[in-house]
Amino acid sequence: MLVVDDEPMVRETLGQVLADEGYVVDLAIDGETALERVHAARPDAILLDLMMPGMNGRQFLQALRDIPAYSGVPVLIMTAVHGLNVNLQTLGASEVVEKPFNVDELLNKVALAVYRSRDANKSISQPLPSVSMPKVAPAEPERGVVLIVEHDRARLQQLDLMLSNRGFTVVSMTRALVQISRLARALRPRAILLDLKSEGVGDVVRDLRAAKELDQIPLLVFARDRATAIDGPETLLEAVDADLVNFVERQT
C-alpha cells in the first residue's frame, strides 16, 4: 500500500492502521515523491489526497496513468469534502474515501481494491529465490480466490506464483489479522491457507469458525516444520508448496 498525503498526522495514522492490518505500507508527502515510490516498488493500491503542494493528486494520477505498467493500480481518492461528486473514470481513480475516516469502511474499500489489483496483475515484482519450478498447464480463468498467510515473504511469493499459474486469484499477506475475516466475507474464497507461525493465526481461526457464513470455507493451517498443531481446523505439518497447492486443487 502507498499512502500519499501532505499532512503528517493523516499520513502516519493511515500508515499505522494499514500496517496493523498486515499490509506493507509506504508513505509519500506529494505526487513527485509518490511516483518515486511507485517506481521503486509497484503498490497493490494507492490512497491519494488530491490537494497537495507541488505535484498534486490530479497531476500524480495523470502521470501514473501515462505509464502502461501502472495503469491498472487502484487509486482511492481521499477528500474532506463530503458528498464530493467526481468522475472517477475521468480522474483515473477507483473509489472515494471521505475524511474523517470510518476505519471499517476504509479497510473494506482498501481490501477490495487490493483484491482487484491482484486479480488484474498476477505478476510479482520482487525476484523469487532460485528454485526448480514444475511446468504447469496454461492458467484457467475464474477458478476462484485463495487467501494465503505466510510469514516468509519469499515462500509467500513462490506459492502465490504457483497458484496464480493454475488460474487462481491469490490474496496474500504476511500476518493473519482481522482483514482475513473481512476478505473472506467479501470474496468467498475457495480455500484459506494459514501459516501457523504467522502473527494472529489463532485469533483468525477462532473468528472464522465462529462465523456460520464462513464455516464451510476450506481452511488449512500449515507449518514448514514439526510445529505444534492448533485445535480446530485441519493442520498440515512439514508442509511443502506442492502439499498446499494440492489442498487447494482438491477444493475445486
Q: Which three cell numbers mark 148? A: 494465503
Cβ distance 195 to 151 under 8 Å? yes
- Considering the segment(s) 2-120 as one domain, its CATH architecture is 3-Layer(aba) Sandwich (3.40)
- Numbered ranges of CATH 3.40.50.2300 in the chain: 2-120, 145-250
Tens-level pLDDT at each residue, the chain (252 residues): 999 999 888 888 888 888 888 788 999 999 999 999 999 988 989 999 888 888 888 888 888 888 888 888 888 888 765 444 455 555 556 678 877 777 878 888 888 888 777 665 554 343 433 344 444 444 444 678 888 888 888 888 889 889 888 888 787 777 766 567 777 877 788 999 999 888 778 888 888 888 888 888 999 999 998 877 777 678 899 999 999 999 999 986
**Domain range 145-250, CATH class:** alpha beta
